[in-house]
Amino acid sequence: MMSMDRRTFVATGLAGAVGALAHAKQENDPYPPDFPPDGPQDAPQKPTGPTDAPQSKRAPWERSTADPFTLDYAPHFGLFHHHAGGDPIDQIDFMAEAGFRSIEDNGMRGRSEDDQRRIANALARHDMRMGVFVMNMDGAWRPSLTTGDAGERALFVQNARDSIEVAKRVNAKWMTVVPGMVTDDLDEEAQMRHVVESLKQAADVLEPHGLVMVCEPLNWRDHHGLYLRYTPQAAEIMKRVDSPSCMILQDLYHQQATEGNLIDHMNSAWDYIPYFQVGDNPGRREPGTGEINYANVFKHMHERGYTGIVGMEHGKSMGGKEGEIKLIEAYRTVDPS
């Protein structure tokens, strides 16, 4: 059972909790990794950046928490565990009643088939979408696709095959791919050829099923040595693979750390980006805790007609229930009206 009455949360909204935010308990949970396990993603520090003005004339806590967001933000399991408890189904129920229309779960492939079906049924009940899960966890953090090794390529393609039934079971379309680390004794062109060939073979497996790998550039501050870093680099790979089943996952937290110029870079590769993830920089917490002007970024995405998922791959700047309310308020503040 959930640790709170969800109907009470929706009925009272956020107003009653605003005054308690200054007294929120701080929690010492780890810095959120790229493939976070289930569980709390709270932070020990307070917000460090300004919050952009809301687009609505009403303050964010005056808007009903049942109103869907304009953009399709997707939390992950663990972000609302203080309110919803540990069961994924209760967490989905809470997310839906807070106005979210999708979730993402990097570790979906590691869940039991029964849990995958339970999650799929809960999402269907709320008319919610399933976002990304990770396709190649076993090859992401070492030299793999860049090497050109036949065994590494075969393992990667098998990961694509193994992901098909998972995707069908949970009604997913997108799966995250990280091409691994650089191979120091090979030049850039050779490594790109190797990566492209592996992606082509995996795309051939996925394309008949309408599934899409989304390749994620990551920053070297957090993940030194990973091959895929830049938006132009990712776009060149997509051009060479030339498949609707191979696209870019544009994580704006990583790209702010790597290259900045977020709007120009997303525009330059727009046709290859069906999926975004976010987190403020530095700190990788909710919007308004760092330097990124998410109100302007989200407004631009909305005006360009983006209707895909925006994955919330970040932690929280404040612990406890208060931090979970603050996170919802942060997205209400920057969501386009």
- Interval 299-313: pLDDT, tens: 999 999 999 999 999
pLDDT interval class at 109 (50, 70, 90): very high
Q: Do residues 88 and 326 lie in contact, with contact meaning Cβ atoms separated by under 8 Å? A: no
Instruction: Classify residue 192: in a domain, yes or no.
Output: yes
First to last CA, the chain: 35
Each residue's pLDDT tens digit, 135-164: 999 999 999 999 999 999 999 999 999 999
Region for residue 14 given its phi and psi (left: phi exceeds 0; alpha: psi -120 to 50; beta: otherwise): alpha
Q: Do residues 235 and 248 lie in contact, with contact meaning Cβ atoms separated by under 8 Å? A: yes
The total number of structural domains in the chain stands at 1
What is the CATH number for 78? 3.20.20.150
Instruction: Quote the pLDDT of residue 43.
Output: 53
Instruction: Classify residue 31: in a domain, yes or no.
Output: no
Query: Average pLDDT over the chain, rounded to whole?
Result: 87
Q: What is the pTM of this model?
A: 0.86
What residues contact residue 85 under an 8 Å CB cut-off, 6+ apart? 1, 2, 3, 91
Instruction: Classify residue 115: in a domain, yes or no.
Output: yes
Name the residue range of residue 162's domain: 54-334
Instruction: Classify residue 171: in a domain, yes or no.
Output: yes
Run of H or E including 88: helix 88-97
Q: What is the mean pLDDT of residues 254-276?
A: 98
Run of H or E including 74: strand 72-74
CA distance 27 to 281: 20
Each residue's pLDDT tens digit, 40-69: 456 543 333 443 433 434 444 344 456 899
Instruction: Quote the pLDDT of residue 100.
Output: 98
